[in-house]
């Protein structure tokens, strides 16, 4: 049998709020989004900047250009590319993250994800691009120095 949903089990449920920082051992997870209500459900994605002793990673959900504009100035060593590398990103923002590694979680799809210009933009900005459909699972260790 499945456990009771949190509401029926009287467990308080709440989502993360913009600006909150959660600590998990040596990792700090800062909530960068959503900052407000957006028209696009994709822009409502939870965005986290994870920092550890060995670097940082920006987890972007499916955010599109509108929410990305509000993330201007946020840099990270690793970027989880929004929306499976679909064409809803701002190329300037993708390049501005300064990511050395860009991870695109994607599988077979009828949408053409990832779109070629997203990969070209990231590589042109100096990022190594890894795709889960070609490279398999990608493990990012933010705890151990290389």
The ranges assigned to domains in the chain are 21-135
Give all strands (DSSP E) within the chain, no chain letters: 21-24, 27-33, 47-52, 55-59, 78-80, 101-104, 128-131
Q: What is the mean pLDDT of residues 114-126?
A: 98
Handedness of CA 21, 139, 81, 46 (dihedral sign): negative
- Confidence check: pLDDT of 68 > 70: yes
- Which of helix, strand or coil describes residue 116? helix
User: 117 with 87: CB under 8 angstroms?
Assistant: yes
User: 76 with 95: CB under 8 angstroms?
Assistant: no
- Confidence check: pLDDT of 119 > 70: yes
Give the chain's mean pLDDT.
94
Right CATH for 21-135 from 2.30.40.10, 3.40.50.10540, 3.60.15.10, 3.30.750.200: 3.60.15.10
Q: What is the pLDDT of residue 9?
A: 74
- Confidence check: pLDDT of 15 > 90: no
Q: What is the mean pLDDT of residues 104-115?
A: 94
CA-wise closest residue to 121 among 91, 82, 101, 93: 91
pLDDT-derived band at 1 (thresholds 50, 70, 90) equals low
């Amino acid at each position: 049998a499945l456990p009771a949903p949190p509401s029926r089990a009287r467990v308080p449920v709440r989502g993360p709020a913009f600006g909150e920082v959660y600590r998990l051992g040596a990792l700090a997870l800062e909530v960068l989004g959503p900052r407000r209500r957006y028209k696009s459900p994709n822009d409502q994605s939870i965005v986290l900047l994870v920092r550890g002793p060995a670097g940082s990673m920006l987890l972007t959900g499916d955010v599109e250009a509108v929410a990305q504009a509000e993330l201007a100035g946020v840099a990270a060593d690793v970027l989880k590319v929004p929306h499976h590398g679909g064409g809803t990103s701002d190329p300037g923002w993708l390049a501005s993250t300064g990511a050395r590694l860009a991870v695109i979680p994607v599988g077979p799809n009828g949408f053409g994800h990832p779109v070629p210009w997203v990969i070209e933009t990231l590589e042109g900005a100096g990022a190594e691009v890894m795709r889960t459909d070609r490279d398999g699972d990608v493990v990012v260790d933010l705890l151990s120095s290389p």
